Amino acid sequence: MAQESSIKSRGPIAAHPVTSAVIAILVLASIFFAVYVPLYASVTPKVGDFPFFYFFLLAYMPALGIVMWIVITLQRRLQPERGAEGPEAVRTGEVAK
């Protein structure tokens, strides 16, 4: 019984470490690909009349939207359910009945 109560009292990040790690990796990868300038700061590869930088942005923005949608979906799985009572419900501002 003591283990069961300690499992229920863990926070959402501690309760789902793999999901939290996937979220962190996706967010850090999206930041890395935007900030690492040598990846796209070259004039030589051209796609048609466009320099590679513009093609990179045209491909990166929709890909970033999909990655952020995945992150938001995973974050929703970490949130406690609406009918949950206990420390999670009190912390989020819901009134426990």
- pLDDT tens digits, 42-71: 767 777 777 788 888 888 999 999 999 999
Query: What's the gap between Cα 17 and its chain centre?
Result: 13
* Whether the Cβ atoms of residue 71 and residue 29 lie closer than 8 Å to each other: no
Q: Is the pTM of this model over 0.85?
A: no
* pLDDT, position 87: 56
Token pair in block for residue 73: 């979906």
Round to whole Å and give the CA distance between 95 and 7: 22
Round to whole Å and give the CA distance between 53 and 41: 6
- pLDDT tens digits, 29-40: 999 988 888 877
* pLDDT, position 53: 81
